[in-house]
A and B are shown apart, each in its own frame.
Chain A
Amino acid sequence: MAFLKNKWALAAIVVLCWAIAASLVSGYYYYQYSDLVARLEKSKATINLGIDYGNGTRVWYNGTKGVTLYDAMLEAGWSIDGTSYGVMGMYVKAINGLEESMSEYRYWGWWSWTDYGWAHGGSACDKYVVSPSETILWYYSPTDPTTFEMAAPP
């Protein structure tokens, strides 16, 4: 076993073993990641997403896909400015350049269409998993200065 004297040959063997083991592990995690992405893609729901700027302009993006409402907003190509509060989710401050206004008491809120009319969204948009064919509207809502209650979309 003359190669025992060749330190480079031994180092090459060690590196080869490490490379094979690392390749196997990374291949496994790549497969898991691809599989997860494919599953998430399948689980995306198609919704009717709209935005109301509170000035009479309402634009609909029907057939938008997403797992969460936030996904769907990004899919629709909106520009969103918000702050993430960890497990509480994201607080949206501005959409497509229109920022909330504390002086005018106007804030962004999302509403879901039900048999009884518009229902205020109960959670942060990135925590809300949308259902197929759901109709969701982002509304630049006027807010009551004393109760901070948001007005429903017209």
Chain B
Amino acid sequence: MLESKKICVIAITVALCIGSNYALVSIPNFKAMDFFVFISGFIFGSLVGASIGILVWIIYGVINPYGFFLPVWLATMFSEAIYGFIGGFLGKRAASTNLNSNRLELGVVFGATGFFLTLVYDLITNVVYAWAFNMPLIAVLIMGIPFAVVHELSNTILFGACSIPLITALEKFIGGERFGIFKK
């Protein structure tokens, strides 16, 4: 992909993530951002995906309705980048896979990926939160479970149900690093 087009995609996706985050701010732990970052990585590669994850948190983390705290901000930034990185990794692995003939199977894989990535994200951010505020780790992890479960289940559904339609639409529209998958 052309560099200018890539930069344009990054900027638009970052704006989309931030906009959707502010729109969904009243619903705790339900965010479309993770999904967009993952899909960006899947289509445009790990570097672009991870960059989008970091850039989103640079802005959303500083101008955040829930407040700003440096260690938590850095943790969320790093954790969000994992979505893009793993998205890119999975995109390469799935390069030879026909999305349309394996919809159900890939839906399960994407859903499970969303679940485990969110589990890792919640674990990292909760550990850093406990460390930063000098709170007992076990208590923080346990009290965070209801929020984590909502986050994980919403991401599982979002990743599982929406990944293939969005990947198909985006690749038809703008192409991507794994554009070759549509060649039969």
Contacts and interface: CB of A to CB of B under 8 A. Distances in A.
Q: Indicate the member of A1, A16, A27 with the most B CB atoms within 10 Å.
A: A1
Contact of A21 (B105, B108, B109, B153): B153
B142 A4 contact: no
B24 interface: no
Contact of A17 (B97, B105, B156): B156
Interface residues of B, number: 21
Name A's interface SS: helix
Given A1-B93, A17-B115, A20-B119, A27 B145 contact: yes
A28 B140 CA distance: 11
B149 A25 contact: yes
B142 A14 contact: no
A13 interface: yes
B112 interface: yes
A31 B143 CA distance: 9
Contact of A27 (B93, B105, B142): B142
A4 B146 contact: no
Contacts of B149: 21, 24-25, 28
A150 B66 CA distance: 61
Interface in A1-60: 1, 4-5, 10, 13-14, 16-17, 20-21, 24-25, 27-28, 31
Contact of A31 (B116, B142, B153): B142
Contacts of B116: 17
A1 B106 CA distance: 10
A20 B93 CA distance: 25
A1 B153 contact: no
Name B's interface SS: helix
Interface residues of A, number: 15
Contacts of B115: 17, 20-21
B142 A21 contact: no
B148 interface: yes
Contact of A14 (B93, B94, B112): B112
Contacts of B119: 20
Nearest to A4: B105
B152 interface: yes
B146 A10 contact: no
A41 B115 CA distance: 38
A25 B145 contact: yes
A34 to B, nearest CB: 10
Nearest to A22: B149
Interface of A: 1, 4-5, 10, 13-14, 16-17, 20-21, 24-25, 27-28, 31
Interface of B: 93-94, 97, 102, 105-106, 108-109, 111-112, 115-116, 119, 142, 145-146, 148-149, 152-153, 156
Q: 5 shortest A-B CB distances, which residue pairs?
A: A28-B145, A4-B105, A13-B112, A17-B115, A31-B142
